[in-house]
A and B are shown apart, each in its own frame.
Chain A
């Protein structure tokens, strides 16, 4: 978002005075820029979750030591990257695509590529799922509608270990709002549809506040594991030295 509010507002007033309407061919809103999650404005996960029996069993069997991908520097994946409420978001926007970039402190930048007007692959297409999924979007007035499929079921949905069946479909409605205290807000109304997990579509809202001075930085997750290895190596060396001295 490039401080265009005042400029566009003035322009609209000039055009309105001349009897010209921009609405017919209005450019989509500019949602580009860096945004920080606002937990207090977002909706929590519902309690209880509307889970199928199969999903309830998966949820109960979740073992954070074994099943948390982030502990192994794997991606958060979609939609957890958007839902987590911990990662800054950078939006890059052109005429035919919108990229949502997250850089949690893991291995990679997670770039959700949303191609505008490009149809999603057919449901029976034999394609491998990915951690970020396949997305398609379109502008509907002032809102960006995004649909994402082909999501990797190893990617959990939240830190409590809620998983999906592989048939997850994420529908999002991104739009701008304005908050008197925080300024521009980027709001994502999210619907998770997965008959193998939820007995009804699950609705969530995530809110991000404009943060032009914030920066996304490279993850250090592997470095942490690397340092951990060096530390353990040192411990082994010290232990061996102590045993040698005791002999």
Chain B
């Protein structure tokens, strides 16, 4: 508009993409709904794999102050679906303005399984992002969830000191919360080098497998080769196995998360992760 440097003058992004499936007689899933509006897109690349892979995309190429983005997915009874994002999401400097708001919602019917495996979210200095991810399981449904946050662009030597992040990840079963991992990062956390907080890490990851018998996965994960440059721990109980990890940069974390996900999926990563 009047100048081309101020992010305040950019048009705010709005986007919503919703993907739904129905069950075929042979138990496989068929795309039955695809709604897209604004800068949110969803597509299903042909993978020749038995399990459909949904790829969500924010065509605006990142998030800034006041943006609103929404992704929705439904998995039918007995269906198995993997969903991810096309690239790392970037939350840019919001210039002190209101937070970008991202909402991710999924419903998984009894006997179904959703692997929600978005690529990492890179938080630039000054980013303001509120994201709420909620996966609603019914009956004995299962989900695998992975979220990685990266603080700044390591290649640029960027240090992140100003940040307003609230990133809530919740899994409910029949309406009752079974996993909740809300992360809040603000300047007071980033400037605190205390031994209970981030310890100077630039990448944080959580992986959660939630489902009947999911606690059994902890043992196998602990037996994996320890990933280089990543501090991590595993715990499993009452239908869940959780991995939490911190690393000095996003590259090492990505490699570690890929290893855990391959193990927990018993198969390859989503195709776009391998690009």
A binds B: no
List the interface of chain A (C-beta within 8 A of B).
none
Q: Using CB atoms and an 8 Å cutoff, list the residues of chain B in contact with chain A.
A: none
